[in-house]
């Protein structure tokens, strides 16, 4: 990963600089007009949040069943990224909804399930921060629970009557809207990989500090 | 480039983007030229003229009525600004925590080195 880090940083930077021009060049959506352009950041961030939640859940399962310390470091990093991306989704969504639906928030399944998922990962981070010894295993359980939530959040728009657009929107995107959208998805995935790498490194160093403290006390 | 520089570049990009977004589009040509043949007349793409799925987004090159375009630059600008600020703030927090842990690690290594030499 170290060998690819600098090229990936350059790629992510270039993509983030170019993305606004692609988005501005994309055609307007017929019913929502300009406000629909929030979609190009809102939906890719949500998809990356799902990816982060899966990474956290799988890493937590590895830690829980195989006691893999490295997996635990990845899980903490991915959980934090899930919360950051979730915050972006929960802020950009209402900004879009205000114009498209006329309201900031509605207690409908997609919005509520996303909020619940975000709260589960906030709970995970609080548990890891203040849970004391043994919180790693409890946290791993919470993270798996959070990961299991992802399919419910995704399918909620198809299972229940919601204001939110259905999952059929992305596969049926017309070419003019499809290009900028998938470009942004790729950009956010690259950013996720980079942040995950750096944040995991932070967790490794924290573990090294703890081990050194213990060694010095002995 | 330092953090302040990156914030400045991000802000300038946002500013440029929102200014461009606020530029009015060319008025749609709704009135057909009576001299032109029917196959030469400009076609305005309306939602009903596209074959896209009912539940999907329908793009339009030009909106049939200018009032149909919802003016929402403030909401779009706020959303994009929030994404940039949140990501940069998070990166800055990671960088700060990494620096703190690195200092702590070096201090502990020095202590460990001193301890091993004295014992």
- Interval B32-79: pLDDT, tens: 344 444 444 333 344 444 444 456 776 766 655 554 455 578 888 899
Tokens of A110: 């997609």
Please say if the pLDDT value at position A117 is more than 60: yes
Residue with the larger pLDDT of the pair B70 and B114: B114
pLDDT band at A111 (very low <50, low <70, confident <90, very high): very high
Instruction: Please state the domain count of chain A.
Output: 1
Whether residue A119 is contained in a domain is answered as: yes
Residue A41 has its nearest CB partner, among B61, B80, B105, at B80
Three-state DSSP class for residue A167: coil
Whether residue A155 is contained in a domain is answered as: yes
Q: Which residues of chain A neighbour B56 with C-beta distances below 8 Å?
A: 168-169, 172-174
What is the value of pTM for the model shown?
0.77
Chain A: closest CA distance from residue B39 (Å): 24
Q: What is the pLDDT of residue B9?
A: 58
Contact A29 B60 (CB under 8 A): yes
Contact A91 B79 (CB under 8 A): yes
Chain A: closest CA distance from residue B8 (Å): 13
Chain B: closest CA distance from residue A19 (Å): 10
Interchain CB contacts (distance < 8 Å): A and B: 145
Whether residue A13 is contained in a domain is answered as: no
Residue with the larger pLDDT of the pair B69 and A87: A87
Contact B60 A28 (CB under 8 A): yes
**Following DSSP, what letter does each residue of A69-112 receive, concatenated?**
HHHHHHHHHHHHHHHHHHHHHHHHHHHHHHHHTSSS----HHHH
Residue A212 has its nearest CB partner, among B20, B63, B108, at B108
Q: Is B24 on the interface with A (CB under 8 A)?
A: no
Contact B79 A212 (CB under 8 A): no
Residue with the larger pLDDT of the pair B95 and B117: B95
Whether residue A193 is contained in a domain is answered as: yes
Q: Model ipTM?
A: 0.91
Interface test with A, best of B75, B93, B102 (most A CBs within 10 A): B75
Q: What is the pLDDT of residue B48?
A: 44
pLDDT band at B31 (very low <50, low <70, confident <90, very high): very low
Q: Is B79 on the interface with A (CB under 8 A)?
A: yes
- How far is residue B82 from each of residues A32, A79, A89, B77, measured CA to CA in Å? 21, 20, 10, 8
In chain B, which residue's Cα lies nearest the Cα of A170? B56
Q: Are B6 and B90 in contact (CB under 8 A)?
A: no
Contact B21 A24 (CB under 8 A): yes
Whether residue A32 is contained in a domain is answered as: no
The residue assigned the tokens 């961030």 is A45
Among positive and negative, which fits the CA dihedral A199, A203, A208, A212?
A: positive
Question: What's the mean per-residue pLDDT of chain A?
Answer: 92
Whether residue A15 is contained in a domain is answered as: no
Cα–Cα distance measured from residue A117 to residue A86, given in angstroms and rounded to the nearest whole number: 9
Whether residue A135 is contained in a domain is answered as: yes
**Following DSSP, what letter does each residue of B48-98 receive, concatenated?**
GGS---TTS--EESS-SSGGGS---HHHHHHHHHHHHHHHHHHHHHHHHHH
Q: What is the pLDDT of residue B12?
A: 57
Residue A176 has its nearest CB partner, among B59, B69, B109, at B59
Whether residue A132 is contained in a domain is answered as: yes
pLDDT band at B24 (very low <50, low <70, confident <90, very high): very low
Q: What is the pLDDT of residue B69?
A: 52
Mean pLDDT to the nearest integer, A189-216: 93
Q: Are A59 and A71 in contact (CB under 8 A)?
A: yes
* DSSP type of residue A163: S
Q: Are A29 and B58 in contact (CB under 8 A)?
A: yes
Range of the domain at A183: 39-217
Q: Other CB atoms closer than 10 Å to residue A204's CB: what's the count?
A: 16
Chain B: closest CA distance from residue A72 (Å): 18
- How far is residue A154 from each of residues A58, A113, A185, B28, measured CA to CA in Å? 18, 9, 16, 38
Chain A: closest CA distance from residue B80 (Å): 7
Residue A99 has its nearest CB partner, among B70, B104, B115, at B70
Three-state DSSP class for residue A208: helix
Q: Is B76 on the interface with A (CB under 8 A)?
A: yes
* Cα A110 to chain centroid, rounded: 15
Contact A198 B70 (CB under 8 A): no
Cα–Cα distance measured from residue B103 to residue B107, given in angstroms and rounded to the nearest whole number: 6
């Amino acid at each position: 990963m170290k060998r690819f880090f600098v090229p990936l940083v350059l790629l992510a930077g270039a993509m983030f600089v170019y993305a606004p021009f692609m988005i501005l060049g994309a055609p307007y959506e017929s019913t929502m007009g300009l406000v629909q352009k929030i979609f190009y950041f809102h939906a890719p961030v949500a998809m990356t949040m799902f990816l982060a939640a899966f990474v956290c859940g799988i890493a937590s399962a590895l830690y829980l069943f195989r006691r893999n310390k490295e997996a635990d470091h990845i899980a903490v990093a991915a959980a934090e990224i899930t919360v950051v991306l979730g915050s972006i989704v929960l802020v950009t969504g209402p900004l879009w909804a205000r114009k498209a639906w006329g309201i900031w928030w509605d207690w409908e399944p997609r919005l509520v399930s996303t909020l619940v998922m975000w709260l589960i990962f906030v709970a995970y981070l609080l548990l890891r921060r203040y849970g004391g010894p043994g919180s790693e295993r409890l946290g791993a359980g919470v993270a798996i629970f959070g990961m299991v939530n992802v399919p419910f959040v995704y399918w909620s728009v198809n299972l229940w009557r919601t204001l939110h657009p259905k999952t059929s929107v992305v596969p049926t995107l017309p070419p003019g809207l499809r290009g900028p959208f998938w470009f942004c998805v790729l950009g956010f995935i690259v950013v996720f990989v980079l942040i995950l790498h750096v944040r995991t490194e932070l967790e490794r160093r924290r573990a090294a500090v703890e081990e050194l403290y213990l060694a010095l006390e002995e | 480039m330092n953090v302040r520089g990156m914030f400045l570049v991000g802000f300038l990009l946002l500013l440029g983007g929102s200014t461009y977004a606020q530029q009015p589009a060319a008025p749609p040509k709704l009135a057909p030229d009576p001299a032109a043949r029917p196959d030469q007349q400009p076609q305005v793409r309306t939602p009903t003229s596209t074959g896209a799925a009912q539940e999907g987004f329908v793009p339009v090159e030009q909106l049939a009525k200018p009032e149909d375009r919802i003016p929402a630059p403030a909401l779009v600008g706020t959303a994009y600004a929030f994404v940039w600020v949140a990501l940069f703030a998070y990166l800055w927090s990671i960088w700060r925590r990494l620096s703190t842990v690195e200092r702590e690690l070096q201090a502990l290594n020095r202590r460990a080195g001193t301890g091993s030499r004295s014992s």
